[in-house]
Structure 1
Amino acid sequence: MRLKGVRRSRNIEDRRRSGVRGGTAGIGGVGLLVVLAIGYFAGIDVTPLLQGLPQEQSGPRDLTAAEELAADFSAGVLGTTEAVWSEVFPNQLNMEYNPPVLVLFAGQTASPCGNASGATGPFYCPADEKAYLDTEFFATLSEQLGAGGDFAAAYVIAHEVAHHVQNELGILGEVNQARQAAGQTEANALTVRLELQADCLSGVWASKVDGLLEPGDLKEALNAARRIGDDYLQRRAGRVPQPHTFTHGTSDQRERWFATGYKSGQVRDCDTFGARNL
């Protein structure tokens, strides 16, 4: 992805100096299932999910050159989302877009939606309208999940921003209310539709930054979508896929909905809640 000359977003809250890396322990078993298994937190304390996962100690720290580059990359990608959605909202939705803040953290952080570890992957918290990202997750995505490339990393950021788009449109609130009144299986099914819509909205963003793409970029994003499908992650963790437990959708579904948004470029085509077949 060509980000040279692209405006860097200033909506960045950098908390990384307050955390200390605890090494590069791999994520396996339960940890792998938690990675990107939750794209947004709605008032959920995620502390129980973190038990048994690698933990880091808090304290002042200096940032490495790689971390500085990751922050610059993230600010550039966030800048493209701001440009895209600031155009799409008035043109397609007759609304004004208010961008989110991206919180960069190292190891662990707290949010109004609960505490989180870098091992849980990026997430969006509607309570403070912020997306949270430990940039070390880019390495996890590439080295452990087999989804390398800068556009795969950009897709991760775009997906969390897509949850903010859903929040701006009132979708997150409606789905969370419906989930609270539903049984677990139905609640999971609603979350799958929410996450697939975020994938589609990420595709809409990708269609608008097509001029910044390099050969192979789109393939990287599609591969990333496949590598974080519920069925793939459950098999990767040595389990037989259990559809009733899915919260994000299968690899095929995630790839297909991202491609739908990319080909269309229209928010209206991302109505996963009205779709009969996902």
Structure 2
Amino acid sequence: MTGVGAADAATPSTAGVAASASTASVTASATNSVSNSVSKQAPPRGRLAATASPLYRTGTLNASCAAGQIRAGSAASYRNFMTQVNRCLNLAWKTQFRKAKLPFAQPVLRFTTTKVGSPCGRWPSGAGGYYCSTNRTIYIGVFRDVLKNPFGPNHVQFMAHEYAHHVQQLGGIMSYYGQSTWRARTSTKLAFSRRIELQADCLGSAFLRQVADDVSLEQEQWDSMVEWTARNGHKTWPTNDHGKGPSQAYWMNRGFNSGSPSACNTWTASARSVA
């Protein structure tokens, strides 16, 4: 789930993939740091930022993640697990941005037990968390219903999806989205929202593929996740701003099967595949 703030569009707009979240009254933030590699270039602007991102040419994600386990009902173990996953994502995407010769900065990570607002607006309905582009913060809800599910790969996919919105922000894709949907008709806004959300599904799944062994994800379990999404993935989003269940499943599989951002260019895909 992503929020586009005033830095990217004249009015806030929301979209994104919700997973469930959890219970505890603690907030935490990851340090925001900028990579120091030499010869950086500004990210592409406008449509090219989305359709021809240098990130598509950076090869497979190089990722590993000893995140530990979540104990059912334990807010502390959930926060620890998600913090470790965020660190793994920082390392993986820092490498991809270096390959693309683009500047990189870590997002802020904030845990919350209430559905807090942000510079991007209210907590999106139905979401377990979201990303706000204005303050580059990932909000993760620590809610009671999430703590009932200790299956780590589900939560990795959720975190990696929200992190993918940060990748889109750094790569200029989020700015293109905001510029294109400002003052656009509703059908256009929804079409752009689906492309940005389905790309995040794909990028998140590419990361999950690379850490599958670390988080004990078996192929049959992945297949079950995809099948569930195909049947149910759209039910939280009645306006179809995230794509129908089969579309979500399609892009999840593309990312997982490739392990690379190259499979995740939703911006040049046919309208049918992002329906």
- Which category describes the TM-score, using the shorter chain as reference length? 0.5 to 0.7
Aligned-partner SS, 1:273: helix
Residue of structure 1 equivalent to 2:159: 157
Decide whether aligned partners of structure 1 residues 196 and 135 sit closer, same or farther in structure 2, where only a CA change above 3 A counts: same
Once the two structures are TM-superposed, the CA of residue 109 in structure 1 deviates from its matched residue by: 1.7
Residue of structure 1 equivalent to 2:137: 130
| TM-score in terms of structure 2 length | 0.67
Q: RCO higher in 1 or 2 (8 Å CA, sep ≥ 6)?
A: 2
Determine if contact 1:131/1:160 at 8 Å carries over to the other structure.
yes
Matched AA of 1:114: G
1:105 & 1:61 partners in 2: Cα distance? 6
Q: Deviations over 1:122-150 (max 9, x none)?
A: 111000000111122762895xxxxx721
Once the two structures are TM-superposed, the CA of residue 227 in structure 1 deviates from its matched residue by: 6.2
Residue of structure 1 equivalent to 2:226: 222
Which of the residues 73, 77, 86 maps onto 1:78?
86
Q: CA RMSD in A?
A: 3.0
Identity %: 24
Residue of structure 2 equivalent to 1:18: none
Residue of structure 1 equivalent to 2:34: none
Aligned-partner SS, 1:97: coil
1:164 & 1:76 partners in 2: Cα distance? 17
2:25 & 2:90 partners in 1: Cα distance? 30
1:62 & 1:112 partners in 2: Cα distance? 20
Which of the residues 170, 173, 176 maps onto 2:175?
173
2:146 & 2:73 partners in 1: Cα distance? 15
Once the two structures are TM-superposed, the CA of residue 73 in structure 1 deviates from its matched residue by: 0.9
1:224 & 1:84 partners in 2: Cα distance? 27
Q: Which runs of 5+ in 2 are unaligned?
A: 6-11, 15-23, 28-71
Which of the residues 104, 116, 128 maps onto 1:121?
128
Q: Deviations over 1:221-264 (max 9, x none)?
A: 4356446622x346xxxxxxx7xx31000111111111111212
Determine if contact 1:119/1:137 at 8 Å carries over to the other structure.
no
Residue of structure 1 equivalent to 2:254: 260
Decide whether aligned partners of structure 1 residues 207 and 97 sit closer, same or farther in structure 2, where only a CA change above 3 A counts: farther
Aligned-partner SS, 1:114: coil
Alignment coverage as a number of residue pairs:
211
Matched AA of 1:222: V
Decide whether aligned partners of structure 1 residues 260 and 120 sit closer, same or farther in structure 2, where only a CA change above 3 A counts: closer
Decide whether aligned partners of structure 1 residues 137 and 182 sit closer, same or farther in structure 2, where only a CA change above 3 A counts: farther
Aligned-partner SS, 1:207: helix
Which of the residues 69, 89, 104 maps onto 2:97?
89
Determine if contact 2:156/2:208 at 8 Å carries over to the other structure.
no
Matched AA of 1:131: I
Aligned-partner SS, 1:136: coil
Q: Which runs of 5+ in 1 are unaligned?
A: 1-38, 47-59, 143-147, 235-241
Decide whether aligned partners of structure 1 residues 254 and 118 sit closer, same or farther in structure 2, where only a CA change above 3 A counts: closer
Q: Which runs of 4+ in 1 moved over 6 A?
A: 62-65
Determine if contact 1:204/1:265 at 8 Å carries over to the other structure.
yes
Determine if contact 1:118/1:136 at 8 Å carries over to the other structure.
no
Decide whether aligned partners of structure 1 residues 117 and 41 sit closer, same or farther in structure 2, where only a CA change above 3 A counts: closer
Q: Deviations over 1:143-183 (max 9, x none)?
A: xxxxx721111111110000000001111111111111310
Determine if contact 1:159/1:202 at 8 Å carries over to the other structure.
yes
Is residue 2:236 matched to residue 1:274? no
Matched AA of 2:82: S
Residue of structure 1 equivalent to 2:213: 211
